[in-house]
Structure 1
Amino acid sequence: MYDLDALRERLAQLIIQRVDCVYIGNKDYERKIKDYVSNNCGGFILFGGEKNKVRHFIKELQSLSKVPLFIASDIECGLARQIEDTTPFPCQMALASALYPDDHNLLIQMLSVISEECKYMGINMPLIPVLDVNKNPDNPIISTRAFSDDPQIVSWFAKYYADIFNKNNLIAVAKHFPGHGDTSVDSHISLPVINKTKGELINCDLLPFNNAIKYGLQGIMIGHLKVPSLDKDYPATLSNEIVNKLLRTDMGYQGLALTDAMNMSALENFEDVYTKALQAGIDIILHPINFDECLNSLMSSFHKGLLREETINRAYEKVINIKQKGFFPIDTINLEKNREIAKSICKKSITLIKDNDNLIPIPNNSYYHLFVLDEGNKHNSAVFREFFRDSITMDNLDKARDKDLIIVIFTVISAWHGNSGISNESKTVIQSLIKLAHHSIVVSLGSPYVLRHFSDANVLISAYEPTLQAQENTVKGLFGEIEFNRNLPIKIS
């Protein structure tokens, strides 16, 4: 006779549920999250929220839980990606531009800051780094979230992430195994298919994960990816061939295996996904649509004989063994010091890709017109408009004739968006402006891959992201106040 209550508690430990921290303070919402804790939920993935409120709520949840909670968060650009009043860092591709291959000391400082802020907030499972090798320039969901299209560069970073987070007793989670870098499909929207041979995967996409395993990274997130050369039937998250055989047996990985978020649409055509994930060798089900439905589904599979007790116990024991090592929060952080480190990296991260006519730096007495492309009008371009006040718009494109022109392109790399580039119509507009202009400078505030369409421009610059800090440093570089780097970590030709 099974102790079904104990079995249910073990299964609950294998689930990490979402918390929208902007609702902290709403008593009904807080009560719902605390109910998850009382039902032995294994942990939470945090989205949004104000620093002090989040910190105090996490402390309260940990005090209520019988077993230490995993507290995870997507913090690819530092904690400021999620939590207000913390330190923002550049995206991973900008980091590669700024730091590879020589500035490992500044990288260690950055990772130490992120570790410190995680421990201050009570986050013990940072969902970084992204170890995808971004081989597809039209990748809608990885792009600048990746370090590079070169597996050696990505692997260089894997070593430092594993080392620094392990020293800080944090469970860093590399993603998205076996590699989300060579697809034009966003797995939030539908299931990407990676049509590579196993040999191609071994020589490229798997190299960074091998390096992470070598240096003891404790967590790997499995992507919602169909890889027919590895498993013709199931996506990686549900694949025994990919998780148990490739990752655990062939690559020798002994750490935690997490699903990617289970609220994504990539798995919508598969049944019993929670059960299949555990059967495949997954230890933690991340971000199910509903905690209770996930838990009830797993219990139902057990009663039907579809989920074996030894499968549950294998994952549970791995989770508990890590939790028993303990997590050690800290009480103070130095945000001013942390932000100075971030600023120093951002200053180094803007890349001058092309300047054959030596137009950079712009002389103070020069006069440039400004054209801003922001499909969807989602970004603040005030920094550029402050310095370049004579604007060209879609309504007066001919004004660019024989003028010196700065073209600023904003792009979005985010879940559910489905595109990291710009429309063909926008490409045509910019190409026509370049032909009209006397001199043209094209700046990408987002994906550097858009610049491959504008090889006729005199100057090409990649700032990798649309943040105000990236804009400010780009303007400073244009006027020679800081020096652009020439270290583009991808190929765009």
Structure 2
Amino acid sequence: MIKKLSILVMIFSLIVLSSCSNKPIKEHSSSTHNLEALSTIESNNRLLTQIYQVAETGKVSKDKWKSGEDTIMEVEKDWGLADNKSEANSGTYATYEKKQVVFGFNEKGQIYDLRSHSNKLQHITQKETEQVLGAPDEIRHFQEQNIYVYQINQTYQLKLIFPPATDNTDRKLSHISVVYLPWDPSVNETDPSYSIDTMTITEKIGQLMMIGLESTSIDQQATYYIKQKKVGGFILLKKNIENTQQTVDFINDLKRNNDNQIPLFLGIDEEGGRITRLPEEISATPSSQAIGKRNDSDWSYQVGKLLAKKVKAFGFNINFAPVLDVNSNPNNPVIGDRSFGDEPELVSNMAIAQMKGLAAENVMPVGKHFPGHGDTAVDSHIDLPLLDHSLERLQQVELVPFQQAIDHGVEAMMIGHLMVPSIDPDNPATLSEEMIQGVLRNELGFDGLVISDDLTMGAILENYEIGDAAVQAIQAGTDLLLICHGYDQIDAVFDAMEEAVANGEISMQNLDDSVDRVLKLKEKYGITNEKMESIDVEQLNQEIKEILQTE
């Protein structure tokens, strides 16, 4: 009897509690609304976070398509023809209604604008967007729409489009767009804020020089090149780097002494593997060959970001990587494991991913060594290598990664000291108008910054007077000269350049075109003379460890 009574009491208590908990909801319908709204907000917040994360990879959803990587031909092969296509000033747009996806592509069929009109997006408001993603980098207006623009990195831009609200409430999202900037026809190049018109001849010539130093701290000669010659940048080699704090102090001193309005390019060769210049206390990253063997473009991208984080922490803004050479000659004395592999497509995929990783961290990548150092038997540091292949063979092997990198927006390319008789029987690539203007610019379509390999390498010094070589390189189409060793060699280049400009061997138009390319990239990458603080080596190494543990 007592047991039955206890059960009845428990049931009665549960009924009372249930009634009490339901009473406010029944009496106040707004409470139900608030609970639903909270659920929607949480869902929208998660969705906004996901949108931003996938946009970093060039996507708008979990579908495989990537802006800046895929073509409309690949989409049509997989999804069939679009429901409709429309022309706009910026290109052609293909709409797939059932997929709620639109592809914007250029005349080559390359997708640069990827849009999603998913129903899930259309409950997100402007206010929620700002709460989760912060204020947009820019708000644009088109046909009464508000377009929130988030600059994801140097490669991708995320746009969220909000049409006007009919009832004057918070606007709700219509669709999103991920734009691959290097291919976007609507992105107009702006003139750099540094005015070429007000620059002296000395300042212009200086901007075309990136030089090495013989010391581990700023010396009188470095100060002279900065203040008197207005040099455009420095490259630091292993001999200049002793430890972390010394390197940070060295770079800060170079910046501090730059009284020019134009900041310095500060470059380094940090490829990973055996080609590293950074202090030993910074953890190593894998060689290109190791990355190629894994054949995972996402991982190559992450390693590219690591390389950028490492060099950026010291104050460098240029990394002379990735290597685009196809390692087709196993006896090659200089490339070897610096290459991603012996297949052009593998090299292309891994190098482009690494290039994007570097750029995502706002470090300027430089593809090298055009037209391809992989099938040579001589080290260009010692003498002049011969690449004795027909143009047809070059187009099938050596040039493939360079063409792919150009198609994916590479902005700077290093020219190797290579004799290619099928293109120019008289001059190495660095000094060849046929190679630079003919092949690289006209045939491959590269309009970015052309950088010479080091002019103090044996390939040049054993065969040319360095001043003459520097002038010929600029005449051939090189924009930025790399002179890594010897103050006497640097002086000789400055003297020869000044004389060539004075006597008209280098035209003012030629000079200004190269300076313009330099300044635009300094502006684009936000390069400044801002001082770097000391490096948290432990934190940096932990980041490296976390990525490499996914190996």
Normalising by structure 1, we get a TM-score of 0.64
Matched, 1:310 2:509: yes
Instruction: Choose between structure 1 and 2 for higher RCO, CA contacts under 8 A separated by at least 6 residues.
Output: 1
In the alignment, the residues of structure 1 paired with residue 250 and residue 350 of structure 2 have an alpha-carbon distance, to the nearest angstrom, of 33
Cα deviation digits, residues 281-331 of structure 1 (max 9, x gap): 101100254322211111122233322121111111111121123227775
Assess if the C-alpha contact under 8 Å between 2:268 and 2:319 holds in 1: yes
Assess if the C-alpha contact under 8 Å between 2:234 and 2:265 holds in 1: yes
Assess if the C-alpha contact under 8 Å between 1:258 and 1:283 holds in 2: yes
| 1:32 aligned residue | 221
| 1:90 aligned residue | 286
| 1:122 aligned residue | 315
SS at match of 1:19: coil
Structure 1 unaligned blocks of 5 or more: 349-493
C-alpha displacement at 1:339, in angstroms? Answer: 3.7
Assess if the C-alpha contact under 8 Å between 2:302 and 2:357 holds in 1: no
In the alignment, the residues of structure 1 paired with residue 325 and residue 546 of structure 2 have an alpha-carbon distance, to the nearest angstrom, of 26
Assess if the C-alpha contact under 8 Å between 1:79 and 1:118 holds in 2: no
Residue of 458, 479, 487 corresponding to 1:283: 479
C-alpha displacement at 1:79, in angstroms? Answer: 10
Residue of 42, 56, 64 corresponding to 2:232: 42
| 1:327 aligned residue | 527
Matched, 1:163 2:163: no
In the alignment, the residues of structure 2 paired with residue 20 and residue 167 of structure 1 have an alpha-carbon distance, to the nearest angstrom, of 32
| 1:178 aligned residue | 371
In the alignment, the residues of structure 2 paired with residue 306 and residue 80 of structure 1 have an alpha-carbon distance, to the nearest angstrom, of 37
Matched, 1:71 2:260: no
| 2:543 aligned residue | 338
Aligned residue identity for 1:161: Q
SS at match of 1:59: helix
C-alpha displacement at 1:118, in angstroms? Answer: 1.8
SS at match of 2:213: strand
Q: 1:37 to 1:230 in 2, by over 3 A?
A: same
C-alpha displacement at 1:335, in angstroms? Answer: 2.3
Map 1:430-445; keep pairs closer than 5 Å: none
In the alignment, the residues of structure 2 paired with residue 41 and residue 73 of structure 1 have an alpha-carbon distance, to the nearest angstrom, of 16
Comparing 188-197 and 109-118, the one that deviates more: 109-118
In the alignment, the residues of structure 2 paired with residue 215 and residue 45 of structure 1 have an alpha-carbon distance, to the nearest angstrom, of 26
Assess if the C-alpha contact under 8 Å between 2:381 and 2:458 holds in 1: yes
C-alpha displacement at 1:4, in angstroms? Answer: 12
In the alignment, the residues of structure 1 paired with residue 409 and residue 475 of structure 2 have an alpha-carbon distance, to the nearest angstrom, of 24
| 1:357 aligned residue | none
Cα deviation digits, residues 81-111 of structure 1 (max 9, x gap): 11212221122112212x20xx333323222
Assess if the C-alpha contact under 8 Å between 1:274 and 1:285 holds in 2: yes
Cα deviation digits, residues 419-443 of structure 1 (max 9, x gap): xxxxxxxxxxxxxxxxxxxxxxxxx
| 2:212 aligned residue | 18
> Could you say what the CA RMSD is over the residues aligned between the two structures, in angstroms?
2.2
SS at match of 1:220: strand
Cα deviation digits, residues 192-241 of structure 1 (max 9, x gap): 11110001001110110111111111211000000011111111000001
In the alignment, the residues of structure 2 paired with residue 57 and residue 298 of structure 1 have an alpha-carbon distance, to the nearest angstrom, of 28
| 1:403 aligned residue | none
Assess if the C-alpha contact under 8 Å between 1:163 and 1:216 holds in 2: no
Segments ≥4 residues shifted beyond 6 Å: none
Cα deviation digits, residues 440-489 of structure 1 (max 9, x gap): xxxxxxxxxxxxxxxxxxxxxxxxxxxxxxxxxxxxxxxxxxxxxxxxxx
In the alignment, the residues of structure 2 paired with residue 108 and residue 133 of structure 1 have an alpha-carbon distance, to the nearest angstrom, of 19
In the alignment, the residues of structure 1 paired with residue 234 and residue 502 of structure 2 have an alpha-carbon distance, to the nearest angstrom, of 27
Cα deviation digits, residues 380-403 of structure 1 (max 9, x gap): xxxxxxxxxxxxxxxxxxxxxxxx
In the alignment, the residues of structure 2 paired with residue 32 and residue 176 of structure 1 have an alpha-carbon distance, to the nearest angstrom, of 30
C-alpha displacement at 1:31, in angstroms? Answer: 2.4
Structure showing greater radius of gyration is: 2
In the alignment, the residues of structure 2 paired with residue 197 and residue 95 of structure 1 have an alpha-carbon distance, to the nearest angstrom, of 30
Assess if the C-alpha contact under 8 Å between 2:269 and 2:275 holds in 1: no
Assess if the C-alpha contact under 8 Å between 1:191 and 1:225 holds in 2: yes
Residue of 305, 324, 331 corresponding to 1:138: 331
Comparing 49-58 and 323-332, the one that deviates more: 323-332
C-alpha displacement at 1:78, in angstroms? Answer: 6.8
Assess if the C-alpha contact under 8 Å between 1:169 and 1:327 holds in 2: no
In the alignment, the residues of structure 1 paired with residue 298 and residue 287 of structure 2 have an alpha-carbon distance, to the nearest angstrom, of 18
Cα deviation digits, residues 24-56 of structure 1 (max 9, x gap): 2xxxx5222122111211101111311111112
| 2:244 aligned residue | 51
